[in-house]
Amino acid sequence: MRRKKPKKRITVKARVELERRFLGAVINRYSNRGDMREDVAFLRDRLGISWRNFRDKRHRALWRALEALDLKSVEERMIVLEKEMYAADEERVKADPRLESAKEAWETPGSPAAEDFKKKLIKGSRGLLWLERELEAAGAFPVVGGKKYLREIAETGEVLTPEHVAELGLFGR
């Protein structure tokens, strides 16, 4: 009879790095499509991932945030940003009545101001920026490691799919 080779154990440092790559892959893959709760629930059901599977406390908090936060669809994000930009413009005009409202320029099709307005809406509705915004509103930034750490996580997971990272033995399936 042949003896089975013992499985190599993953070191804590390597496990934390795999968790980080996994979360980065999840954020990059799903955050630009809108609300991530359904996608995270699918991964939880398919791969058996729970917040308890993560070794790093920051990763636990981030996974729970991804399960709970409503990140809205891209269209809903743009509507919210548009309302905020109009409100900021009104406040600016109220503060100094000599200034002109930018609302008319934003609504003029083909004008440079309208193009700039559109670019700001598209940029602001991106997944990572919106995730940062929602984490900040929930008061969860200190728990997930801050904006810098969240951006580092998102940069590390660009190449891999969550399924590939999970296949590396991170979650025991």
Across all residues in the chain, what is the average pLDDT? 82
One domain for residues 68 and 83: no
d(C-alpha 162, C-alpha 19), whole Å: 10
Q: Is the pLDDT of residue 82 over 90?
A: no
Number of domains in the chain: 2
Residue range 51-57: mean pLDDT, rounded:
90
Q: In percent, how much of the chain has pLDDT > 70? A: 87
One domain for residues 49 and 26: yes
Residue range 59-81: mean pLDDT, rounded:
89
Q: What is the pTM of this model?
A: 0.77
- pLDDT in the model for residue 72: 85
The CATH number assigned to the domain holding 61 equals 1.10.860.10
Alpha helices, H only, 31-173: 37-47, 57-68, 74-95, 103-107, 112-124, 127-138, 141-144, 146-156, 162-165
Domain range for 51? 12-72+127-170
One domain for residues 68 and 114: no
One domain for residues 42 and 81: no
